[in-house]
């Protein structure tokens, strides 16, 4: 035995000194020049077991790639792929490192598929090592100097320690590139690069076209991004000195697995954390989340303001370049100065606050001009100068030519001083108007930028650190304030927190009964008020609708949409947690004779406009195209300032591509609001929502319900009644008699006419919601005469199911004062 062991020992030593490879057979974190890592063999595992390197295939692909992935994430999630553009077609691949320090992937012994080209003359006995940060490095045995490192060659993922930016001395750039598809890690169309000219900013491109930019770094943040301060998940860092400019981050808790990743689909950058308990990535969309983030959306010199009635407007002193286009909501032409600048005449500057500063196409940065006065003088001296900004990091920045891609933010942002002819300054520089431009109401949907996000539950680390679930939810809740989520990447609340906050779902806290179950009011330990929609187990809302609603709402952010804060799933229980709306729903106001009087016309008009804007966002401006399908007065909630918020997206259906109409055999909706083509044929389109919107407007104007409408003189419903009054030349009699007089008759009539256009029988006759907004906005446009409305004579279709239409009702879900119907369409 002894002799055998000795022979074996010597054999080992001897064979190691031979120039042929030994195949790596057990997990190690290093690979030496005489070793080989083969496909299907052992992998490299970092010392702390955080990362693993080996061969893998993306889902539905047979190509083999060498990649570094998270060791503790069950589904292989690569952070770096070596041969992403040159896969090995079969399983014959092998990874080696040459004696000169070059990493080589070869297939079937001979062909070099990929090489790191890291050959350096001074590389003496190099070693390939996978570090616990996920960095794959080539180093010499004794020195901790990296001859090569994978962190210098990022793919689509940024993990703590990686950089996005530049080494200005070596001109080494670190940037992210999306995968081509889920199956194909080769370089896709989207890149995130840090543009280091002037004020550094992060720019997303599709091929060469800029589609988003973060806005410049001003020393504290990018644009409106939450300040670059530490949050509960990670500490962002931004280095900007004479040799380096880059963004990076570190995890707060080392046990958390987190990453930034670029989506292959639309290039959006997400921060995600791995939830070990649920075995899912949870993420927060960070960049380019709303309309105004679309690059140059409002054209040159245009201003994108997502809280204005229309997304785009011209700053004070400017006017649309192509007014006709502008009226059609085609913004590309942008704006021009009302009075062209004349250098010889006195001029001044108008201040705009909370802006994303214009893109840097023609600009000048002067670091020595550190005072505002100097900067202003510098701008005045140059006839071509259009605007300036004074920033902490770069001193004075002046812009020449047109101002591109400017938007307002609800919070954050920077000040821009725009040069103006004195005449323009005098006429309209009264502080109020400037203030209107500059100020942005603290809308709901805020945010979205910058490399900051927050995350969700991490059961594992919570268990480790012994935190109680309640505390955790509380903390998560705080973090969820300014976050845009994607897919199911929502804060999860635990049942204990929710039941405590609602007094164990006590009757006293019940504030309503929706189509799918009761709604409770609650107060989280943080003091935040919430509305909890508890989905009854027997409700029509199955897991599908639940997911639908959660996924949809979590993707939508608009001040006229109710905000979903999170959800709670506990065994069979499913709950949605919304922001609480102090003034509850619109029906409580307009259908209550006592309360209704508190709603004067201007409030009602604002509500109508708000709903239209919310709907426009759903139909057109959100990244998804959404048809609500159950728009009704009780689904319009009111916040403390009586701003309307559309709620209940459970029935919303996501539209993809150019699909504009869909047939469904499952009709969901509410009688009285359903368009004929939908109720009868199951056809729904944006025009069925427009129909419901028309009904809603007539109800708001008249304070009467369409369903259950009663008139002594005829058998018509509210639509028929309004149509009759319109034809008799008497539409003002429709208006709620209790509403405060006098009324702006012109505006009221426009609303009624617009509503009648919306409820016309034929969908193609109805306006789109964009048209509706123009009608509401533009006093001078001529509205066409409305044609006969759909469903104008059927008063109570539900009470006589077979008389006027051919529904076959399967399920009625009765609620306190109205009915949400779920039918299986059978004809
Ligand atoms: C390598 O190539 C040879 C001939 O080119 C082939 O016979 C052999 O099967 C290949 N090995 C693998 C693992 O594909
Ligand atoms: C290494 O060099 C070869 C030949 O110049 C080139 O084709 C290849 O793309 C390089 N590899 C990397 C990873 O840059
Ligand atoms: C700039 O920052 C980098 C990273 O923190 C640092 O390594 C470098 O020394 C800094 N350069 C100067 C000139 O301060
Ligand atoms: C600028 O103003 C001066 C003085 O009013 C006038 O003479 C000149 O024509 C103007 N120039 C332009 C380009 O309008
Ligand atoms: C109408 O509002 C008043 C005042 O808030 C309330 O007392 C009353 O119960 C409401 N009526 C109905 C029918 O809801
Ligand atoms: C429904 O309508 C039909 C025909 O209009 C009538 O004969 C029938 O009695 C009605 N049914 C109910 C329940 O009212
Ligand atoms: C009209 C009305 O009732 N408005 C109320 C809406 O909610 C806020 C906050 O609770 C109240 O202050 C308003 O009076």
Query: φ and ψ at 701, to 5 degrees?
Result: -70, -40
Show the ligand 7 pocket: residues with CB < 6 angstroms: 582-583, 598, 640, 642
Ligand 4 centre to CA of 379 (Å) is: 19
pLDDT tens, residue by residue, 325-336: 888 788 899 999
Where are the alpha helices (H) located in 728-806, listed in sequence order? 745-758, 769-777
Residues 6 or more apart whose Cβ sits within 8 Å of residue 347: 341, 380, 419, 420, 421, 422, 425
pLDDT at 430: 41
Q: Provide the pLDDT for residue 99.
A: 87
User: Does the beta carbon of 111 lie inside 6 Å of ligand 1?
Assistant: no
Looking at all shown ligands, the one closest to residue 805's CA atom is: 6
Under a CB-based contact definition with an 8 Å cutoff, are residues 545 and 470 in contact? no
User: Which H or E run includes 461?
Assistant: helix 459-465
List Cα–Cα distances, 500 to 39, 49, 459, in angstroms: 53, 40, 20
Structural fold of domain 460-580: Phosphorylase Kinase; domain 1 (3.30.200)
- Whole-number Å distance, alpha carbon 374 to ligand 4 midpoint, is 26
Ligand nearest to the CA of 169: 3
DSSP notation for 378-421: HHHHSTTEEEEEEETTTEEEEEES---SEEE-SS--EEEEEEEE
Per CATH, which fold does 586-815 belong to?
A: Transferase(Phosphotransferase); domain 1 (1.10.510)
Q: In the prediction, which pLDDT does 395 show?
A: 80
| Residues 6 or more apart in contact with residue 324 via CB below 8 angstroms | none
Tell me which residue of 557, 559, 614 sits closest to 581, measured CA to CA.
Answer: 559
Q: How far is the CA of 133 from the centre of ligand 4 (A)?
A: 65
Q: Are 258 and 159 in contact (CB under 8 A)?
A: yes
CA of 88 to the centre of ligand 1 (A): 13
In Å, what is the CA distance from 728 to each residue of 3, 208, 415, 459, 547?
A: 115, 60, 55, 67, 48
Closest CA to 707 of 717, 715, 697: 717
DSSP 767: P
Answer whether 342 contacts ligand 4 (Cβ < 6 A): yes
Of all protein residues, the one whose alpha carbon is nearest to atom 11 of ligand 7 is: 640
Q: What is the pLDDT of residue 135?
A: 96
Contact by Cβ (8 Å): 68, 136? yes
CA distances from 790 to 694, 715, 758 (A): 11, 15, 10
The CB density around residue 98, as the number of other CB atoms within 10 Å, is 15
Domain ranges of the chain: 12-150, 154-289, 292-429, 460-580, 586-815
Please state the atom number of ligand 2 nearest to the C-alpha of residue 85: 9
The atom of ligand 5 lying closest to the CA of 593 is: 1
The pLDDT value recorded for residue 286 is 58
In whole angstroms, give the CA distance from residue 664 to residue 37.
54
Assess whether 621 carries a catalytic annotation: no
Angle between helices 686-702 and 718-727 (to 10 degrees): 70
CB 505 within 8 A of CB 511: no
Sheet architecture: strand order including 819-824: 666-669, 819-824, 811-814
Pairing type for strands 484-485 and 517-523 reads: unpaired
CA proximity to 144, closest of 161, 162, 131, 134: 131
Which residues in the chain come in under a pLDDT of 70? Answer: 1-21, 25, 109-110, 123, 141-143, 218-221, 223-232, 283-289, 309, 426-491, 514-516, 536-549, 551-553, 555, 595-597, 622-624, 649-671, 679-683, 792-827
Q: What is the 113 CA–ligand 2 centroid distance (Å)? A: 10
Q: Which ligand is nearest to the CA of 421?
A: 4
Token digits of residue 533 = 């929609």
**What pLDDT is recorded for position 18?**
41
Q: Are 726 and 742 in contact, with CB atoms under 8 Å apart?
A: no
Of residues 489, 494, 630, 648, which has the active-site annotation? 630
Residue in 802, 804, 806, 807 to alter for ligand 6 test, most ligand atoms within 8 A of Cβ: 802
Take atom 14 of ligand 6 and give the residue whose Cα is closest: 800
Q: Is the pTM of this model over 0.85?
A: no
Question: pLDDT tens digit string along 252-297?
Answer: 888 889 899 998 888 888 788 887 777 778 765 455 557 788 899 9
Give 540 Cα–ligand 5 centroid separation in angstroms.
29
Q: 313 - beta bridge partners?
A: 303
Fold of 12-150: Agglutinin, subunit A (2.90.10)
Does the C-beta of 40 come closer than 6 Å to ligand 1?
no
Contact in structure between 536 and 530 (CB atoms under 8 Å) = no
Task: Decide if 100 contacts 120 (C-beta within 8 A).
Answer: yes
Return the pLDDT at 19.
Answer: 43
Residues 6+ apart with CB under 8 A from 783: 750, 753, 754, 757, 775
Residue nearest to atom 4 of ligand 6 (CA): 803
The number of the ligand nearest the C-alpha atom of 598 reads: 7
| Three-state secondary-structure class, residue 466 | coil
Distance separating alpha carbons of residues 806 and 219, to the nearest angstrom: 65
97 DSSP β-pair partners: 103
pLDDT given for residue 200 in this prediction: 85
**Bridge partners, 22 (sequence order):** 35
DSSP string, 345-390: S-EEEEEEEEEEPPP-SSEEEETT--SHHHHHHHHHHSTTEEEEEE
Rounded CA separation 160/455 (Å): 15
Which of 582, 592, 703 has most ligand 5 atoms within 8 Å of its beta carbon, as the pocket-test mutant?
Answer: 592
Q: Which among 681, 606, 692, 610 has a CA at the least distance from the CA of 651?
A: 692
């Amino acid at each position: 035995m002894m002799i055998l062991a000795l022979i074996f020992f010597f054999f080992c030593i001897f064979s190691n000194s031979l120039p042929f490879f030994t195949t790596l057979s057990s997990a190690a974190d290093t690979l030496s020049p005489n070793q080989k890592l083969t496909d299907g063999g052992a992998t490299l595992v970092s010392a702390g077991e955080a990362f693993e390197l080996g061969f893998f295939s993306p889902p539905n692909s047979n190509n083999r790639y060498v990649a570094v992935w998270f060791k503790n994430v069950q589904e292989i999630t690569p952070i770096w792929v070596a041969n992403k553009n040159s896969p090995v077609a079969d399983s014959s691949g092998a990874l080696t490192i040459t004696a000169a320090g070059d990493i080589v992937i070869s297939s079937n012994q001979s062909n070099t598929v990929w090489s790191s080209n890291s050959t350096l003359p001074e590389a003496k006995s190099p070693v390939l090592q996978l570090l616990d940060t996920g960095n794959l490095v080539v180093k010499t045995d004794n020195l901790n100097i990296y001859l090569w490192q994978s962190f210098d060659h990022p793919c689509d993922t940024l993990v703590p320690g990686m950089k996005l930016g530049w080494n200005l001395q070596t001109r080494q750039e670190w940037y992210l590139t999306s995968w081509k598809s889920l199956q194909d890690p080769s370089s896709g169309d989207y890149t995130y690069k840090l543009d280091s000219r002037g004020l550094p900013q992060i720019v997303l491109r599709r091929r060469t076209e800029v589609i988003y930019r973060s806005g410049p770094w001003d020393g504290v943040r990018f644009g409106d991004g939450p300040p670059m301060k530490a949050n509960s998940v990670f500490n962002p860092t931004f280095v900007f000195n004479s040799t380096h400019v880059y963004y990076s981050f570190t995890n707060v808790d080392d046990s958390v697995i987190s990453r930034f990743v670029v989506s292959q689909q639309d290039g959006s950058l997400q921060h995600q954390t791995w939830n070990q308990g649920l075995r899912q990535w949870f993420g927060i969309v960070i960049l380019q989340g709303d309309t105004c983030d679309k690059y140059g959306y409002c054209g040159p010199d245009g201003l994108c303001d997502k809280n204005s009635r229309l997304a785009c407007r011209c700053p004070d002193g400017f006017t649309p370049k192509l007014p006709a286009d502008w009226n059609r909501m085609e913004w590309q032409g942008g704006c021009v100065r009302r009075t062209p600048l004349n250098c010889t005449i006195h001029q001044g500057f108008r201040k705009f606050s909370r802006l994303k500063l214009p893109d840097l196409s023609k600009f000048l940065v002067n670091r020595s001009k550190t005072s505002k006065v100097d900067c202003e003088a510098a701008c005045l001296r140059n006839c071509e100068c259009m605007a300036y900004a004074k920033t902490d990091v770069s001193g004075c920045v002046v812009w020449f030519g047109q101002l591109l891609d400017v938007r307002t933010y609800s919070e954050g942002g920077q000040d821009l001083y725009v040069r103006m002819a004195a005449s323009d300054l005098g006429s309209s520089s009264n502080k109020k108007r400037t203030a209107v431009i500059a100020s942005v109401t603290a809308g709901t949907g805020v945010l979205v930028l910058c490399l900051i996000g927050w995350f969700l539950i991490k059961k594992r680390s919570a268990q480790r650190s012994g935190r109680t679930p309640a505390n955790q939810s509380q903390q998560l809740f705080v973090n969820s304030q300014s976050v845009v989520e994607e897919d199911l990447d929502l804060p999860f609340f635990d049942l204990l927190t929710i039941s405590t906050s609602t007094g164990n779902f006590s009757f006293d806290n019940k504030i309503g009964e929706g189509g799918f179950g009761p709604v409770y009011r609650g107060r989280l330990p943080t003091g935040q008020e919430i509305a909890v929609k508890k989905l009854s187990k027997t409700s029509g809302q199955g897991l599908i609708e639940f997911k639908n609603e959660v996924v949809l709402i979590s993707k939508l952010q608009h001040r006229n949409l109710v905000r979903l804060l999170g959800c709670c799933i506990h065994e069979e229980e499913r709950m949605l947690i919304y922001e609480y709306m102090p003034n509850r729903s619109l029906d409580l106001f307009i259908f209550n004779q006592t309360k209704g009087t508190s709603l004067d016309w201007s409030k009602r008009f604002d509500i109508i406009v708000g709903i239209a804007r919310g709907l426009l966002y759903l139909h057109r401006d959100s990244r998804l195209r959404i048809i609500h399908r159950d728009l009704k007065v009780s689904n319009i909630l009111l916040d403390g300032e009586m701003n309307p918020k559309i709620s209940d997206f459970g029935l919303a259906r996501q539209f993809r591509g150019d699909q504009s109409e869909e047939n469904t055999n499952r009709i969901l909706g509410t009688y009285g609001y359903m368009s004929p083509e939908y109720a009868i044929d199951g056809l729904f389109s944006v025009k069925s929502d427009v129909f419901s919107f028309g009904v809603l407007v007539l109800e708001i104007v008249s304070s009467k319900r369409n369903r259950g409408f009663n008139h002594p003189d005829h058998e018509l419903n509210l639509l028929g009644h309004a149509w009759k009054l319109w034809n008799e030349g008497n539409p003002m009699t429709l208006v709620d008699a209790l509403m405060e007089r006098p009324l702006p008759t012109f505006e009221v009539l426009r609303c009624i006419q617009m509503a009648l256009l919306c409820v016309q029988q034929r969908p193609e006759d109805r306006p789109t919601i964009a048209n509706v907004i123009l009608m509401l906005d533009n006093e001078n446009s001529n509205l066409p005469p409305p044609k006969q409305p759909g469903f104008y004579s059927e008063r109570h279709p539900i009470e006589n199911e077979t008389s006027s239409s051919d529904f076959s009702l399967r399920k009625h879900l009765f609620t306190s004062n109205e009915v949400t119907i779920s039918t299986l369409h059978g004809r």
